[in-house]
Amino acid sequence: MSQSTFQLNHSPVYAKNGIVAASQPLATAAGLEILAKGGNAADAAVAAGAALNVTEPTSTGIGGDMFALYFSADTKRVAALNGSGRAPSALTLDRLKRDGFVSSIPPFHAHTVTVPGACAGWFDLIQKHGSLPMTEILAPAIRLAEEGFPVAPITSHFWKRGVERQLKSAPNGHELTIDGRGPNAGEIFRNLGLARMFKTIAERGASAFYQGEIAESIVRVVNEAGGCLSLDDLAAHTSTWEEPISVDYRGYRVYECPPNGQGITALIALNILEGFDLSESNSLSVERLHLMIESLRLAFADARWYVTDPAFSNIPIKELLSKSYAADRRKLINTQYAIRNIERGTPVNSSNTVYLSVVDKFGNACSFINSNYMGFGTGIVPKGWGFTLQNRGYNFSLDPHHPNCLAPRKRPYHTIIPAMVTKLTAKLAKGAKNKENLSDLSELSGSNNNFDEALYASYGVMGGFMQPQGHVQVLSALVDDGLDPQAALDRPRFCIDAEESGGRVAIEEGMSQETFTGLEKLGHPVYSVSGYERALFGRGQVILRDEFGALCGGSDPRADGCAGTLA
């Protein structure tokens, strides 16, 4: 790993016995507390995630969804957990039409509430990979909620915005305010309803969330607000353990959760980008940024069509992630001008969030993400329980011919994506003295036995459709430029408006005017973003194992958080 250039930002955190990186220092502390008690990466991830529900409800909560990737030090394999919920069984296109919604649903309407999957996901992660009881894992979050905590500055800014945008008008939204306003930086906020909810599920399990008084409160408030969620919808919810999807990028295996998540977008883009020699251009040069933007535009063109619930559609994942398909799509990129009106390809056989990362002393890693979607989600609060309900259903299409069209008990296109990266080391063939005759690593899959995998990085970048863009930009900084995690996260980013072909490109302050002008000349509709609006570029966490075997962590300067370690 090369040395970072000196800048007025945090140094990366180095450790031997574990690192937790999260967007709130108190959540990082919660995860470290669990590691200190002998817990592993799964235990610490759930503890930090629950603490984030308390300290950053502007982005996350148990009323939302979660995904996780878990690297087991014992098996050297990566497992994928899909903790996303489904649409209500009574929510159909006809129902929406009767309610006056033909082309879209308002973003904070009760019809955008899908079954919250986070609670079941937390318990399922612990059941399969954890080592401590949930009463111990949730104890730090319960303490924070009961005793109160000082609100962090960036969180305070977005909390106040969320009060005006959602909480002020949402049923029971006042439960997450102080006398109807958002808390100031440093002001103590207590959430006794959330503490009571955490105690309930810690003692009685996930079923206490999906059945009984909590479930009844959820259903009651959604239906009073005009929705149609039922007790049966909650009781029927299940998480799913799935085979992760992956591609090789310059000798590193990059893992994402499969659709309905949008992680495939990052993998398609990396496959396309791998065909270019990025060493010929500077990290933030017009030439390199142009190639990255175009690769991501091509990837999003596919994702907007193909990413949906695989239980309802046949998604050609293998074909979309093939190197031959990437080569065909790469031919569409012109180094002299930006592509306009990109269409999806046809591969054939011949959607505000918190992200956190934990690596423990045993070598296990958990890449963990949890979200309400748009800040506080709908802003709707089940009375007395201190958490908001997500608006993830806003990502459904209402076009009956689209694969992501709304349907009962269907999962929507999901924006939240954790990532994991391993370093591929080819095994010696029987009787061989070297590794030169083994097959190209680029064609190997995660289940192939011709190579060993060692943990390289557990990372993610939260923030809607920015997430796959952040995954690509941060990974390129780590792999192509050899930056440490903190320097990779500090680097200015771009963000494509991915919801339409040829959308505008936001350029973060810190990039040169020469770069800005150069991208304009190539035909990119660029604009500059600074201040608090830099949240547009996502907020990431990275923990990697360096060439000396030490853990190295970084936390995004666009959030309030930090990476922390045990002594």
Active site residues: 353
Contact 321, 248 (CB under 8 A): no
- What does the DSSP assignment read for 487-523? HHHHS--EEE-TTSTT--EEEEBTB-HHHHHHHHHTT
Contact 61, 387 (CB under 8 A): yes
Element spanning 422, H or E: strand 419-426
Element spanning 553, H or E: strand 551-555
- What does the DSSP assignment read for 310-321? TTTS---HHHHT
Q: Which residues pair with 565 in a beta bridge?
A: 19
Q: Give the C-alpha separation, 133 to 123, whole Å.
A: 10
Q: Give the C-alpha separation, 278 to 274, whole Å.
A: 8
- Which has the closest alpha carbon to 544: 441, 452, 459? 459
User: Looking at residue 542, what DSSP letter applies?
Assistant: E
Sign of the Cα pseudo-torsion (427, 431, 436, 439, in order): negative
For residue 527, count other CB atoms closer than 10 A to its CB: 11
Contacts of residue 119, defined as CB under 8 A and 6 or more positions apart, other chains included, come to 62, 201, 206, 209, 210
Contacts of residue 539, defined as CB under 8 A and 6 or more positions apart, other chains included, come to 23, 355, 461, 462, 463, 556, 558, 559, 561
Q: Give the C-alpha separation, 392 to 200, whole Å.
A: 25
- Which has the closest alpha carbon to 178: 59, 57, 60? 57
Determine whether 205 is exposed, middle or buried from the number of CB atoms within 10 Å of its CB (0-12, 13-18, 19+).
middle
Q: Give the C-alpha separation, 46 to 145, whole Å.
A: 16
The type of residue at 491 is: R
CA angle (86 as vertex; 84, 89 as ends), nearest 5: 165
In the numeric block, which tokens belong to residue 102? Answer: 């033909």
Backbone angles phi, psi at 153, to 5 degrees: -60, -50
